[in-house]
Structure 1
Amino acid sequence: MAKTLTMYMTGGPVQVPATIRGVREALPAELREEFTAEAENTEVGELPMLLARWVMQVPTGYEAEEEALVARVRAGDFSGVRFPDDLTDAYRSTG
């Protein structure tokens, strides 16, 4: 079983690869060579930051859902969308 860790994104918790190989394999093909070159030339102390930055580019299950929403809105379907003018100030109130 591949090693993973949990990251908390805007859409909620997601499992992401926890190894250099796992990150490379999970990245879109067009980014793998760039990632490999950078990982091979990064100092040991900088690896955690490198991995954190690159793992943010690994596609997650939330992205397809968000992309579908954006495509729907771009196509002119605003059903379910709430505009600031439609909201009351109640959501801003702390009590």
Structure 2
Amino acid sequence: MGDEPVLRTIIGGETVDLPGTLEGIRDSLPEDQRADFEREIWSAPLAEVPLIAARWGRPQEAHDEDEALVQQLRAGDFRGFTTPGDDALEAGR
């Protein structure tokens, strides 16, 4: 992404650079999604802009990963999830 600002996240266990500007997010979208992004981002309350930008700026793989986790939880499978009282969290693992 050159000298453009980026955000870093983990997707599928890999570090991924995401666009760090609204223009970068728009440019990264497929042409058929750009008008929807523009409409949503330009009419959003300022407090919601970071959440909207994060949602639109993430690649499809990230959305798929999130959906898989939601489906896992809906199925009652809590493997891999912890709570503040879990030993692994308290031990710093």
Common topology (TM > 0.5): yes
- 34-43 or 50-59, which moves further after superposition? 50-59
Residues 12-55 of structure 1 show CA distances to partners (whole Å, capped at 9, x for unaligned) of: 11000011111001111111110011000011100111011101
TM superposition shift of 1:58: 6.4
Q: How far has the Cα of 1:57 moved from its partner?
A: 3.7
| Number of residue-to-residue matches in the alignment | 60
Query: Which blocks of at least 5 consecutive residues in structure 2 are unaligned?
Result: 63-93
Structure 1 outlier segments of 4+, above 2 Å: 57-60
Contact 1:5 1:18 survives alignment (8 Å): yes
| 1:1-95 aligned within 5 A | 1-57=3-59
Give the % identical residues.
Answer: 28
Say whether the 8 Å CA contact 1:6–1:13 is kept in structure 2. yes
Contiguous gaps of at least 5 residues in structure 1: 61-95
